[in-house]
Amino acid sequence: MTTVLPGEQVPAQHVNLKLGPGLLQQTSVGGTPAVVSTRAGEVQHSANRNKWWIEGNSRRYAPAPQESVVGVVVSRSGENWRVDIGSAHMATLDGLAFEGATKRNRPNLKVGSLLYARVSLAHKDMEPELECFDAQTRKAEGFGELKGGFLVQCSLKMCRLLLDPHHFLFPLLGSRFPLESAIGMNGRVWISAKEPRQVIAIARCIEAVDPDGGGMDEAAVKKFLNTLDV
């Protein structure tokens, strides 16, 4: 992986380019488009989505369009809600940004409610905006209020690892007991299982595997689970 500092150019020149956190597209002196890093870290690239981003050790989330997040409703303002997603500014969620929502039929969210949402708008000079449906299908597709369960805080890097279908942790846990999860790119993971001890086991495993924590590997996690008897 290539390590860059703020202001350095990143060789991300492809069709339908998608830029994630830490990258900014601007026009160079010669008039050609250039992608520049806005923070220090490692350049990451997802070939199947053609998305580029900078992976750093920051725990402060910088919103990026199309990213999934887990948020907490902190207040209501007219027909909108203000949601804490762990970024520098509160996000706004429109009351109609749900599948099938109308002015007469919309969710009744309370302060403290957990949400699995998608960032629809992110700009450094504006508050981020959220919506709880898939942009293409307009269906919920798993987005919306998260009821019950438990919220785990972890590093941004750990969230990206958990979203990798080849990562070992959730398949390993799922082979032992049924579980549900909602993984936000903002350092928050919502988990749910039938028994409290299983929820505790999931949370402790996430914390142990987190690169900012123990960085435990698969073999060590298996031994750890055996000590928990789950």
Domain of 113, CATH number, reads: 2.40.50.140
Per-residue pLDDT band for 36 (boundaries 50, 70, 90) equals confident
Of residues 18 and 130, the one with the higher pLDDT is 130
Integer-rounded Cα radius of gyration of the chain: 19
User: Same domain, yes or no, for 12 and 80?
Assistant: no
Are 114 and 156 part of one and the same domain? no
Query: Picking from 27-31, 169-173, 212-216, which range would have the lowest pLDDT averaged per residue?
Result: 27-31
In a domain, 209, yes or no: yes
Q: Give residue 170's domain range.
A: 150-227
Mean per-residue pLDDT, 3-23: 75
Average pLDDT over residues 127-147: 91
List pLDDT tens digits, range 50-72.
677 777 666 678 888 889 999 99
In a domain, 98, yes or no: yes
| Pair 162, 220 in one domain | yes
Mean pLDDT of 73-101: 92
Check if the beta carbon of residue 221 is closer than 8 Å to that of residue 209.
yes
> Alpha helices, DSSP H only, in the chain?
156-162, 169-174, 196-209, 218-228
Residue 52 has a CB neighbour count (10 Å cut-off) of 20
Please indicate, yes or no, if residue 61 is contained in any of the structural domains: no
What CATH number is given to the structural domain containing 41? Answer: 2.40.50
Q: Are residues 207 and 167 in the same domain?
A: yes
The structural domain count of the chain equals: 3
- Is 141's pLDDT higher than 80? yes
> In terms of domains, do 80 and 124 share one?
yes
Contact 190, 114 (CB under 8 A): yes
* Domain contains 127: yes
> What is the arithmetic mean of pLDDT over 143-150?
94
Let me know: does 221 contact 213? Beta carbons within 8 Å: no
Question: Among the three residues 13, 32, 55, which one is the final residue of a domain in this structure?
Answer: 55
In the block, tokens 């209020």 appear at: 145
User: Which residue among 130, 146, 162 closes a domain?
Assistant: 146
Instruction: Provide the percentage of residues in the chain whose pLDDT is more than 90.
Output: 50
d(CA 90, CA 84) in angstroms, rounded, equals 5
Last residue of one domain, picked from the residues 127, 146, 165: 146
Give domain status of residue 116, yes or no: yes
Give, rounded to a whole angstrom, the gap between the first and last alpha carbons of the chain: 37
